[in-house]
Amino acid sequence: MSLKVGDIITFERTFTAKDVEGFTKVSGDEGSHHVTPDEQGRLVIQGLLTATLPTKIGGDHNVLARTMNFEFLRPVFTGDTIVCEVIIEQFENQDNRTYITASFLCKNQNKKDVLRGNFSGVIL
């Protein structure tokens, strides 16, 4: 898929306790809210685990990120399904490189904003 300015890419993911456990091992982020379920049996997802959603674009299109900005708006819990919408704002060739800039907004299954931000980088 070739990207262009104005493209909107949408995808979703439902986070599980296994996701949190794996990320806890990799990141060392063992805050009690990530390892002890709440009264509903849910764990709070690490913010940076939630922030892996917009990085899917990088993986799909070989983006080497240069900047990433995140604003965490509300907690995400195990069992939540998060929809991430990425809007391509810049996609241009210059000096034998392809530059990309995009913004994103992630919402939970209740249509509540949970994460927003932007990233920029080069396509390898």
User: CATH code at 87?
Assistant: 3.10.129.10
In a domain, 89, yes or no: yes
- Closest CA relative to residue 3, chosen from 84, 96, 98: 98
Q: Is residue 41 part of a domain?
A: no
Q: Has residue 90 been placed in a domain?
A: yes
Parent domain of 88:
8-14+49-123
3-state secondary structure 64-117: EEEEEEEEECCCCECCCEEEEEEEEEEEEEECCEEEEEEEEEEECCCCCEEEEE
Q: Are 113 and 81 in contact (CB under 8 A)?
A: no
Q: Is residue 19 situated within a structural domain? A: no
pLDDT at 2: 79
Residue among 73, 55, 72, 77 at smallest CA distance from 64: 55
pLDDT for res 1: 54
Q: What is the pLDDT of residues 87-96, one digit of tens each?
A: 999 999 988 9
* Dist. CA 26–CA 24, nearest whole Å: 6
Is residue 105 in some structural domain?
yes
Nearest one of 2, 22, 8 to 104, comparing CA atoms: 8
Predicted TM-score (pTM) of the model is 0.92
Q: Give pLDDT tens digits for 41-60.
A: 999 999 999 999 999 988 99
Q: Is residue 116 part of a domain?
A: yes
Report the number of distinct structural domains present in the chain. 1
Residue 79, domain member (yes or no)? yes
User: Does a structural domain hold residue 118?
Assistant: yes
